């Protein structure tokens, strides 16, 4: 039986480029090459697309320029070299991209034009989840608790006196914890807004929620969903800054992850059911990680949704799924199967 040709896109122009490359390396270790024939497409930090042998440390050397064709009659990669253009057909695409231009619906739009089935969320759900203010509005309409929040657009001033501190100031449309500040006093707000605007002109200011940071990995489409084990982020000080550690493989300087979370069984079930409700309300499919707060009174409050969560050796999503009995190899196989079954992008 012929192997399925899977295009695996990694890298990208966002600040999460290095994380994406690390995620791709874990995919390379866990992809069933007896079933799938991989075609590795790395996007440089400047936005150049390169067909390469894999996401190793020298993937840009010896690679060939390649683009994903939006022409459905081509349905694959256009690879350039020596004055010629070669077409490589693909059966399915696995985006392993994080943040801007990878997780916000941009690549998903190109894949919709191409007509090639692809893993993960579609344009609409990717865009909704990337913009935290839109995520909160949709979640609230579905009866899911969120922090109180305010939005500041480009060059808009926020009156520090109108807020109750502490608050978190975030880029509305950025990944991980880049540009995020905790503000405890009025005087700190202008600098925090300036920091956030380095990553996005739209800034989100939200009330700090007193509670444990807990997350849940979700896998599936529609109502047929699998929830991974809930994890808890145990902080020694400060707040959790994912993917900004100097040596993340050796652990975070202020956080450890407890999987399964050391919370009551009833709270665990509520977090999982809330994560599924969020996933459905936002139209997610394939996979996502839903981050929440668990308050002392048992209330679950949404924090954010990651539609293409990290798959590195130290990432939360694969840890939660492994604790639920699904190693990364099985997760990859399932999300590719879901892409082919649901065929997003092949209407």
- Please identify which of the residues 36, 199, 279, 314 carries the catalytic annotation: 314
pLDDT at 246: 53
Quick check: 144 and 271 in contact, CB under 8 A?
no
Indicate if the pLDDT at residue 241 is higher than 60: no
Quick check: 99 and 15 in contact, CB under 8 A?
yes
* Structure confidence by residue, pLDDT tens digits, 35-89: 999 999 999 999 999 999 999 989 998 899 999 999 999 999 999 987 889 999 9
Q: Give me the chain's average pLDDT, please.
A: 92
Residue 249 annotated to the active site = yes
- Please identify which of the residues 243, 268, 276, 319 carries the catalytic annotation: 243
Residue 310 annotated to the active site = yes
Tokens matching residue 178: 């880049």
Residue 35 annotated to the active site = no
- Please identify which of the residues 185, 187, 249, 296 carries the catalytic annotation: 249
Q: Which domains does the chain have, with CATH numbers?
A: 4-118 (3.40.50.20), 127-145+210-342 (3.30.470.20), 149-207 (3.30.1490.20)
Among 54-58, 177-181, 241-245, the minimum mean pLDDT is found in: 241-245
Once rounded to an integer, what is the mean pLDDT over residues 15-30?
Answer: 96
Residue 237 annotated to the active site = no
- Please identify which of the residues 310, 319, 331, 345 carries the catalytic annotation: 310
**CA distance linking residue 159 with residue 156, whole number of Å:** 10
- Please identify which of the residues 25, 173, 289, 316 carries the catalytic annotation: 289
User: For the whole model, what pTM was predicted?
Assistant: 0.91
Give residues with Cβ within 8 angstroms of 288, minimum separation 6.
121, 129, 218, 279, 305, 306, 307, 309
Confidence of residue 236 (pLDDT cuts 50, 70, 90): low
Residue 199 annotated to the active site = no
**CA distance linking residue 347 with residue 339, whole number of Å:** 12
- Please identify which of the residues 15, 16, 19, 304 carries the catalytic annotation: 19
Confidence of residue 117 (pLDDT cuts 50, 70, 90): very high
Indicate if the pLDDT at residue 253 is higher than 80: no
Give residues with Cβ within 8 angstroms of 276, minimum separation 6.
218, 225, 227
């Amino acid at each position: 039986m012929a192997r399925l040709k899977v295009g695996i896109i990694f890298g990208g122009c966002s600040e999460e480029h290095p994380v994406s490359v690390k995620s791709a390396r874990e995919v390379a270790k866990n992809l069933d090459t007896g079933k799938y024939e991989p075609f590795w497409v790395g996007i440089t930090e400047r936005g150049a697309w390169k067909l390469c042998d894999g996401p190793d440390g020298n993937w840009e050397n010896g690679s060939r320029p390649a683009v994903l064709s939006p022409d459905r009659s081509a349905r694959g990669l256009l690879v350039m070299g020596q004055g010629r253009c070669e077409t490589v057909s693909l059966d399915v695409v696995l985006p392993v991209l994080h943040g801007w231009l990878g997780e916000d619906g941009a690549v998903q739009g190109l894949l919709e034009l191409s007509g090639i089935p692809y893993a993960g969320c579609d344009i609409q759900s990717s865009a909704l989840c990337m913009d935290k203010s839109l995520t909160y509005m949709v979640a609230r309409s579905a009866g899911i608790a969120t922090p109180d929040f305010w939005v500041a657009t480009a060059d808009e001033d926020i009156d520090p006196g109108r807020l109750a501190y502490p608050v978190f100031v975030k880029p509305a449309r950025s990944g991980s914890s880049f540009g995020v500040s905790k503000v405890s006093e009025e005087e700190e707000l202008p600098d925090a807004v300036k920091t956030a605007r380095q990553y996005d002109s739209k800034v989100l200011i939200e009330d700090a929620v007193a509670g444990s940071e807990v997350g849940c990995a979700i896998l599936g489409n529609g109502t047929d969903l699998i929830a991974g084990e809930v994890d808890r982020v145990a902080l020694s000080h400060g707040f959790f800054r994912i993917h900004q550690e100097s040596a993340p493989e050796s652990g975070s300087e202020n956080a450890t992850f407890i999987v399964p979370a050391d919370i009551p069984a009833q709270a665990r079930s509520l977090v999982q059911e809330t994560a599924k409700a969020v996933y459905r309300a936002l139209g997610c499919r394939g996979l996502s990680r839903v981050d929440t707060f668990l308050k002392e009174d048992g209330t679950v409050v949404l924090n954010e949704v990651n539609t293409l969560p990290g798959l590195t050796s130290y990432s939360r999503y694969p840890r939660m799924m492994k604790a639920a009995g699904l190693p990364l190899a099985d997760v990859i196989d399932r999300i590719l199967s879901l892409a082919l079954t649901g065929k997003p992008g092949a209407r």
